[in-house]
């Protein structure tokens, strides 16, 4: 039987449509296209496989033996056609092969369709509360069912169309015998016609070739003579001389001339004509070499000195790899012709253009060659290479399991480099360009490095596939990152992308605890690979690889794997976590209320695990909820169950902000869980305590670096004004400025177990563990409002209080037993700190002459010195050093002991001028006005220093029994000084007393020094109006004081009649010196004559020196208060204003007092005489030691304590 070329050989009979045993290889995308087979010479002419099948004599090419037929093998013949007519058998396929392949394709398509329909989600229809019920009736109109039906219908329609085409071919093949014969005849006739044409053109070719074979008429005579004798006798000798050979020097000169002409021509004549790519050139050996980086280099030369003549081609080499080191001779010959023609027509520009295009074509050819080798070797069955016109296409991932129906390929071609107008741009020549089609869509914006110098198709494919892998994994990563679990960083999700190696790109997803799942993409096949291999992971890998669009559906598969793994792992490890796992103590509805209180709107299904720490009270629990929305931990408090109720009622619950991404069911994790839950219980206890005391508070989330990174605790802010409400009610704080901000943060820092708790844990007794106690550690911070006020505080204020001067805040470390409110301890610490802050503020207000050495809650040490010195900055340098040579510049240290329950104790160093009022200072330090102490120390230092100088000056006088000086302190603001001079026996007493008190004049506090025994001279009237002073007794002291002290004003001193006002810093010490000098001028002078008793005034005896007062005596309880005066001034009596009887009574009273005074003077004189004799004896015996004893006595007097000090007793009248 004859068959037409390009048609199918049809089988009639039982073999039609029978499935064959051939391999499943199909040609084309759907397996329905005909395979074009190349003609092979060894098949012979007219090869047919003839057999009979039930009487049908049609011959066919078959692959298997037919059923029920007898096959007769014989040599193929052509009986009914002439021998010269060849039967065409090329490009013919048997029809049974086509039908078998179509049947196989239909079967595989149906299998894939059924598997794809099974992988799609089933609509969830709840029937009677059962979510697992599936409705499969005919009226199912859900979107999922409609989508499945549509997919199945399209598949069946496509297969039906293919089988209809097969039926048409089957019917047509029944008439193929006659058509096949006609085709053979038509082909034979066409071949004969073609032979006529070939003969015609062969004759023309022979005629052209004979033209070169023509020879002129031969000169046989000359040829015979030359062949026999080697010369021709009759031919004349022309006498030509051979040129001499060229020497090396001449060659060098000739080459140098060519080099010079080339340099001149390229530098001047051809400078503007040289293309930009030919700017890199070198001239040597009579040639110019132009180099194009990554392309080629060409050698040119010149053949004439005329610059208008063209360059000539010499050699050519490729500069990219891999490439031939030297081009073959045929290629070189062709290049020489083409390049010389381009040089003759377009010059260097034409030469560059031609060679550049030639190199681009060679590069594409090299890319194509390497791609073909890869597709036949390592990348077999994964690449499809196609050569285009000056371009090539490479399809990768040909047989990938996912994304069926979509293809990805790259096209490498030549870009013209034309500008926007379409015209050639000399600055942008043609170049190799790359286009990328990913999943049937062209990617416009991509950054793929393309190396045209070192050609490597494998590197190019690897880079493109790396970008494709980055797209796939990046799409899955971005979709997962939008989920709440990963958006809130409750689970670890990491994407590692390699720009060069696709196998190094991976997407790591946390499953549970430290277990991770890594997703990779195979470089050659494009299939997804998940690690580590396990049944669960491999099942997820299979689902992703069977997905039509992994970039969209991959996140759902990975999330399902994670949820399943988490639930299984937690269920298996729940009983070995160290806590007690319990059944749910409350109803499921209450559990839903807890979990859904902070869940997203989707409200995914969850599972709950209840746990309790050994040793907790029965009402506290920890609950963990596991869901796709994230793992959540809850601290739950239940109330005691009501009588008759089976379950307890929910009392309180709070979510613990613990990240499930850092979850690790290890001993360390549950130790941290114990710490955190204990802190939460303490936090709740504090909130209830604050609510009970009606203290303003607020809880705010904050970052706590002292806790593990996966645990956060809220910070409790407490209102300071409400906490110190009781103290504010006791004192008027309306005008005071708050020293700290109103809100105090209480930050939980952890727990600390007692040592006996560890012993109980080792014992293993549950009762002992239940009774173990945990100490809660917290930290409170008080931010001050004015950091400048606290410059005196440095570092640690106490063992648990630190002040940060730069930040301006106090940090309090609090430790309390679990269950004890932390705010109670904080309140007591703040009250102690407030007292300290007030005193520090007092030190700061005192100025630069008062410096705090150490400030703690238990002790305050500060130093002070006189404020009238010119260099107060040297005060810190004097602290702790040896005393200066003069007391005026000496620094004195004061220690306040605040740790005693009885009150504040003050300790002064030996020799401090303020030791004379130590008892009054202790009373003031324990009073509400204790913050005024630093200012008082500074203000009274010049006064007390002046008193010390007077005592030192009167000590020699007292030793000689010529007089005495005494100072009596009736309070911290009232000093009485008394001068007494020696008087003969029986003479009136020579004594004067002065009071020193602070008073305010014109808004400034000054010391007022006056004689209290002067009528009106030293009272408040003289302070207010100096002209209101009344004349004094006009004794010797009054005269000398008026003459030397009360007469003139000085710097810091203002005279006020019979008194003076002195500046506290600069005036009081000079004033006391003036008073001392004036009184000492009377030492050794005889007493004035005794005055007669007068009616105008009466002498009041001076009261003895007062004894030190206790805490309840006088008015020395605080600063600014004093006791009553020792000497009461009497008003001067005028005789004209009083009746005679009154004058007589006064005269009698004066005479009685004078008699008593004489008796007292006599007694004092006798005592003085005895002391003088005793003193003279001591002087004679101890003359050498007198000076040393004097210094010791002076030092002891200054270092002693008490309300007042005095010199040796003196007998005075």
The reply to whether 619 and 688 lie within a common domain is no
Per-residue pLDDT band at 456 (split at 50, 70, 90): very high
Residue 830 has pLDDT above 50, yes or no: yes
pTM for this structure?
0.44
- CA atoms of 158 and 31, how far apart (whole Å): 13
**Could you say which DSSP state residue 1074 is in?**
H
Q: What is the mean pLDDT of the chain?
A: 75
Name, in order, each residue with C-beta under 8 angstroms of 960's C-beta and a sequence gap of 6 or more. Answer: none
| Residue 280 predicted with pLDDT over 50 | yes
What integer is the mean pLDDT of 805-812? 86
Mean pLDDT, residues 665-693 taken together: 83
Decide if 1210 is inside a domain: no
Q: Is the pLDDT of residue 435 over 80?
A: yes
| 295 found inside a domain | yes
In the predicted structure, residue 820 carries a pLDDT above the cut 70 = yes
Distances (CA, A) of 1201 to 914, 1196, 1204: 9, 10, 8
**Residue 1144 pLDDT greater than 50, yes or no:** no
CB under 8 Å to 255, separation ≥6 — which residues? 285, 286
Q: Are residues 1043 and 1155 in the same domain?
A: yes
Predicted local distance difference test score (pLDDT) of residue 139 = 65
* Domain extent at residue 418: 380-573
pLDDT band at 519 (very low <50, low <70, confident <90, very high): very high
Is residue 390 within 8 Å of 413, Cβ to Cβ? Answer: yes
Query: Given a cut of 70, is residue 1114 above it in pLDDT?
Result: no
Average pLDDT of the segment spanning 1142-1147: 40
CB of 781 closer than 8 Å to CB of 768: no
Q: What are phi and psi of 512, to 5 degrees?
A: -165, 145
Quick one: pLDDT at residue 288?
Answer: 95
Mean pLDDT of 1112-1131: 34
Contact 625, 615 (CB under 8 A): no
How does pLDDT run across 892-949, given as a tens digit for each residue? 899 888 877 677 888 898 888 888 888 888 888 878 777 788 888 888 888 888 899 9
Q: Is residue 884 part of a domain?
A: no
If asked whether residues 566 and 589 sit together in one domain, one would say no
Are residues 544 and 598 both part of a single domain?
no
Give the pLDDT score at 973. 85
Calculate mean pLDDT across residues 760-784: 64
Euclidean distance between CA atoms 7 and 338, whole angstroms: 47
Domain edge (last residue) among 543, 573, 603: 573
Q: Which of 355, 372, 388 is the last residue of a domain?
A: 355
pLDDT for residue 660: 59
Is position 869 within any domain?
Answer: no
Ramachandran angles phi, psi of 994, nearest 5°: -125, 140
Percent of the chain scoring above 90 in pLDDT: 23
Q: How far apart are alpha carbons 1011 and 1017 in whole angstroms?
A: 7
Sheet strand arrangement including 963-971: 1053-1055, 1059-1063, 1004-1010, 990-1001, 974-981, 963-971, 1204-1206
pLDDT-derived band at 736 (thresholds 50, 70, 90) equals low
Neighbours of 396 (CB within 10 A): 23
What pLDDT, on the 0 to 100 scale, is given for residue 129? 46
| Element at 622 (helix H, strand E) | strand 620-627
Which pLDDT does position 888 carry in this prediction? 58
Whether residue 695 is found in the same domain as residue 817:
yes
Give me 161's structure tokens.
């169309």
pLDDT for 184 beyond 80: yes
Mean pLDDT throughout 130-147?
67
Structural domain includes residue 946 = yes
Higher pLDDT, 322 or 1109: 322
pLDDT at 1068 over 80: yes
- For 378-387, the CB contacts below 8 A with 24+ separation are 378/524, 379/461, 379/524, 382/524, 382/525, 383/461, 384/409
CB 678 within 8 A of CB 776: yes
Please say if the pLDDT value at position 130 is more than 90.
no
Confidence of residue 66 (pLDDT cuts 50, 70, 90): very low
CA-CA distance, 719 to 712, in Å (whole number)? Answer: 23
Check residue 254 and give its pLDDT: 92
Q: At what angle do helices 535-545 and 550-573 cross, to 10 degrees?
A: 170
> Quick one: CA dihedral 614, 615, 619, 622, positive or negative?
negative
128 pLDDT band (50/70/90 cuts)? very low
Higher confidence at residue 1118 or residue 690? 690
Shared-domain flag, residues 13 and 37? yes
Give the integer Cα–Cα distance in Å for 695 and 744.
Answer: 12
Q: For residue 1125, what are the CA distances in angstroms to 152, 989, 1089? A: 121, 20, 29
Mean pLDDT of the region 524-533: 91
Are 699 and 818 found together in one domain?
yes
Mean pLDDT of 279-298: 93
Q: Which residues of 416-450 are buried (b: 16+ CB within 10 A; e: fewer)?
A: eeeeeeeeeeeeebbebeebbbbbeeebeeeeeee
Residues 620-673: pLDDT tens digits? Answer: 888 888 775 777 888 898 887 776 666 778 888 988 877 655 567 777 777 777
Confidence at residue 474, expressed as pLDDT on a 0 to 100 scale: 93
pLDDT the model gives residue 604: 63
- φ, ψ for residue 592 (rounded to 5)? -65, -40
Banded model confidence at residue 1119, pLDDT cuts 50, 70, 90: very low
**What confidence tens digit (pLDDT) does each residue in 961-976 have?**
889 999 998 888 899 9
Q: Rounded distance, CA 162 to CA 106, Å?
A: 9
What is the structure's pLDDT at 555?
Answer: 86
Quick one: 1039 and 1184 in the same domain? yes
Predicted confidence at residue 1032, as pLDDT, reads 45
| 574 confidence band (pLDDT: 50, 70, 90) | low
> At residue 296, what are phi and psi to the nearest 5 degrees?
-160, 175
User: pLDDT value at position 455?
Assistant: 92
> How confident is the model at residue 1113, as a pLDDT?
35
Q: Which residue has the higher pLDDT, 352 or 837?
A: 352
pLDDT in the model for residue 70: 39
Q: Which of 432, 520, 419, 530 is nearest to 469 (CA)?
A: 520
Predicted local confidence at residue 1115, as pLDDT: 34
Q: What is the pLDDT at residue 16?
A: 37
Instruction: List the single range of 89-93, 220-224, 299-303, 880-884 with lowest mean pLDDT.
Output: 880-884
Higher pLDDT, 844 or 870: 844
Indicate if the pLDDT at residue 858 is higher than 90.
no
Is the per-residue pLDDT at 1111 higher than 90? no
Which of the two residues, 600 and 345, has the higher pLDDT score?
A: 345
- Is 588:547 a contact under the CB 8 Å cutoff? no
Q: Which of 1088, 1101, 1102, 1089 is nearest to 1150 (CA)?
A: 1101
Is the pLDDT confidence value at 1185 over 60? no
pLDDT of residue 83: 66
| Rounded Cα–Cα distance for residues 981 and 1002 (Å) | 37
pLDDT at 316: 94
* pLDDT score of 43: 38
Beta bridge partners of 316: 298
Answer yes or no: do 985 and 1031 share one domain. Answer: yes
- pLDDT tens digits for 994-1016? 999 999 878 888 999 998 864 44
585 and 548 fall within a common domain: no
SS3 874: helix
Please indicate, yes or no, if residue 253 is contained in any of the structural domains: yes
Structure tokens belonging to residue 854: 């150490």
360 within some domain = no
Q: Is the pLDDT of residue 223 over 70?
A: yes
- Which tokens belong to 700? 């705010």
Q: Are residues 739 and 694 in the same domain?
A: yes
pLDDT at 391 over 60: yes
Between 66-80, 110-124, 551-565, the lowest mean confidence (pLDDT) is in: 66-80
* pLDDT at residue number 599: 60
Does the residue 1131 lie in any domain? yes
**SS3 state of residue 393:** strand
Q: Are residues 68 and 158 part of one domain? A: yes
Mean pLDDT of 73-86: 58
Tally of domains in the chain: 6
Of the residues 526, 549, 573, the one at which a domain ends? 573
């Amino acid at each position: 039987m004859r068959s037409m070329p390009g048609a199918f050989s049809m089988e009639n009979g039982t073999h039609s449509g029978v499935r064959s045993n051939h391999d499943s290889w199909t040609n084309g995308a759907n397996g329905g296209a005909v395979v074009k087979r190349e003609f092979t010479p060894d098949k012979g002419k007219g090869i047919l496989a003839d057999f009979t099948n039930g009487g049908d004599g049609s011959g066919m090419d078959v692959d298997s033996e037919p059923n029920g037929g007898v096959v007769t093998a014989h040599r193929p013949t052509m009986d009914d056609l002439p021998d010269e007519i060849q039967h065409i058998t090329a490009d013919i396929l048997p029809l049974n092969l086509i039908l078998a392949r179509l049947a196989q394709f239909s079967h595989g398509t149906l299998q894939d369709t059924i598997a794809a329909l099974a992988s799609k989600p089933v609509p969830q229809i709840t029937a009677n509360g059962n979510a697992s019920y599936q409705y499969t009736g005919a009226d199912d109109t859900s979107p999922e069912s409609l989508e499945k039906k549509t997919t199945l219908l399209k598949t069946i329609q496509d297969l039906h169309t293919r089988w209809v085409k097969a039926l048409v071919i089957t019917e047509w093949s029944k008439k193929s015998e006659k058509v096949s014969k006609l085709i053979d005849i038509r082909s034979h006739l066409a071949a004969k016609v073609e032979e006529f044409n070939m003969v015609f053109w062969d004759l023309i070719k022979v005629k052209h070739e004979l033209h070169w074979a023509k020879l002129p008429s031969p000169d046989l005579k000359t040829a015979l003579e030359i062949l026999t004798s080697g010369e021709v006798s009759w031919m004349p000798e022309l006498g030509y001389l051979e040129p001499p050979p060229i020497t090396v020097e001449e060659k060098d000169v000739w080459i140098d001339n060519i080099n010079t002409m080339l340099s001149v021509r390229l530098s001047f004549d051809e400078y503007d004509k040289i293309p930009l790519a030919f700017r890199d050139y070198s001239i040597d050996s009579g040639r110019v070499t132009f180099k194009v980086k990554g392309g080629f280099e060409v050698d040119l030369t010149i053949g004439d000195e005329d610059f208008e003549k063209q360059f000539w081609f010499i050699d050519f080499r490729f500069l990219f790899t891999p490439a031939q080191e030297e081009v073959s001779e045929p290629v070189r010959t062709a290049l020489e012709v083409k390049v010389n023609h381009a040089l003759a027509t377009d010059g260097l520009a034409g030469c560059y253009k031609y060679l550049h295009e030639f190199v681009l074509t060679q590069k594409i050819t090299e890319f194509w060659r390497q791609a073909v080798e890869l597709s036949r070797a390592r990348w077999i069955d994964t690449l499809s290479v196609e050569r285009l016109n000056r371009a090539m296409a490479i399809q990768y991932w040909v047989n990938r399991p996912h994304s069926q129906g979509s293809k990805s390929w790259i096209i490498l071609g030549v870009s013209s480099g034309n500008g926007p107008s379409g015209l050639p741009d000399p600055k942008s020549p043609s170049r190799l360009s790359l286009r990328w089609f990913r999943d049937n869509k062209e990617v416009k914006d991509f950054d793929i490095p393309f190396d045209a110098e070192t050609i490597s198709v494998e590197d190019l494919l690897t880079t493109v596939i790396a970008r494709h892998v980055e797209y796939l994994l990046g799409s899955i990563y971005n979709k997962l990152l939008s989920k709440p679990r990963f958006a809130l960083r409750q689970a670890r999700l990491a994407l590692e992308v390699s720009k060069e190696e696709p196998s190094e790109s991976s997407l790591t997803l946390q499953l549970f605890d430290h277990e991770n799942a890594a997703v990779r993409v195979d470089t050659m096949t494009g299939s997804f690979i998940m690690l580590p291999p396990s049944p669960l992971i491999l099942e997820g890998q299979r689902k992703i690889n069977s997905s039509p669009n992994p970039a969209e559906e991959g996140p759902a598969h990975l999330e399902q794997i994670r949820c399943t793994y988490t639930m299984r792992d937690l269920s298996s490890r729940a009983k070995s976590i160290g806590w007690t796992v319990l059944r749910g103590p409350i109803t499921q509805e209450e559990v839903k209320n807890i979990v859904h209180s902070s869940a997203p709107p989707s409200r995914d299904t969850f599972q709950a695990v209840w746990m309790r720490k050994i040793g907790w009270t029965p009402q506290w629990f920890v609950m963990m909820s596991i869901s796709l929305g994230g793992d959540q931990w809850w601290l739950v408090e239940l109330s005691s169950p009501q009588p008759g109720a089976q379950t307890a009622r929910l009392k309180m619950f709070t979510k613990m902000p613990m990240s499930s991404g850092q979850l690790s069911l290890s001993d360390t994790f549950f130790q941290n869980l114990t710490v955190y839950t204990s802190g939460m219980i303490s936090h709740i206890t504090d909130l209830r305590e604050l609510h009970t005391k009606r203290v303003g508070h607020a809880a705010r989330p904050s970052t706590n670096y002292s806790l593990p990174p996966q645990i956060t605790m809220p910070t409790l802010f407490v209102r300071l004004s409400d906490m110190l409400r009781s103290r504010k009610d006791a004192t008027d704080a309306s005008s005071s400025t708050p020293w700290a901000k109103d809100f105090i943060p209480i930050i939980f820092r952890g727990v600390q177990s007692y040592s006996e708790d560890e012993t109980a844990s080792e014992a293993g007794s549950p009762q002992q563990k239940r009774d173990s106690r945990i100490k809660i550690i917290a930290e409170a911070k008080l931010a001050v409002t004015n950091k400048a006020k606290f410059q005196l505080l440095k570092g640690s204020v106490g063992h648990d209080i630190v002040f940060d001067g730069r930040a301006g805040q106090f940090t309090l470390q609090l430790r309390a037993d679990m269950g004890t409110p932390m705010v109670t301890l904080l309140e007591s610490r703040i009250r102690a700190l407030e007292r300290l802050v007030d005193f520090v503020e007092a030190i700061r207000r005192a100025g630069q002459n008062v410096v705090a050495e150490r400030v703690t809650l238990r002790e305050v040490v500060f130093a002070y010195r006189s404020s009238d010195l010119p260099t107060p900055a040297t005060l810190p340098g004097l602290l702790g050093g040896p005393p200066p040579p003069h007391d005026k510049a000496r620094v004195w240290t004061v220690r306040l002991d605040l740790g005693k329950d009885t009150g504040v104790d003050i300790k002064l160093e030996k020799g401090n001028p303020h030791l004379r009022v130590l008892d009054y200072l202790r009373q003031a330090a324990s009073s509400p006005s204790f913050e005024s102490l630093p200012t008082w120390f500074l203000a009274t230092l010049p006064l007390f220093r002046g008193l010390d100088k007077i005592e030192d000056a009167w000590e020699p006088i007292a030793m000689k029994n010529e007089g005495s000086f005494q100072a009596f302190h009736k309070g911290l603001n009232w000093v009485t000084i008394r001068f007494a001079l020696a008087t003969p026996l029986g003479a009136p007493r020579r004594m004067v007393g002065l009071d020193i008190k602070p008073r305010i004049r014109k808004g400034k506090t000054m010391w007022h020094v006056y004689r209290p025994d002067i009528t009106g001279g030293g009272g408040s009237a003289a302070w207010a109006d100096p002209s209101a002073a009344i004349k004094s007794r006009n004794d010797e002291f009054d005269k000398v004081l008026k003459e030397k002290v009360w007469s003139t004003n000085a710097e810091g001193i203002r005279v006020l009649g019979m008194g003076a006002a002195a500046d506290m810093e600069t005036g009081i010490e000079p004033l006391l010196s003036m008073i001392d000098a004036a009184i000492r001028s009377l030492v050794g002078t005889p007493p004035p004559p005794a005055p007669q008793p007068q009616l105008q005034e009466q002498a009041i005896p001076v009261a003895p020196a007062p004894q030190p007062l206790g805490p309840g005596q006088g008015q020395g309880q605080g600063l600014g208060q004093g006791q009553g005066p020792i000497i009461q001034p009497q008003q001067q009596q005028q005789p004209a204003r009083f009746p005679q009887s009154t004058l007589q009574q006064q005269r009698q009273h004066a005479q009685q007092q004078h008699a008593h005074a004489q008796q007292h003077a006599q007694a004092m004189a006798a005592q003085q005489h005895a002391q003088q004799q005793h003193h003279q004896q001591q002087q004679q015996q101890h003359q050498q030691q007198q000076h040393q004893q004097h210094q010791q006595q002076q030092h002891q007097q200054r270092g002693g304590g008490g309300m007042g000090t005095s010199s040796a007793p003196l007998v005075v009248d």
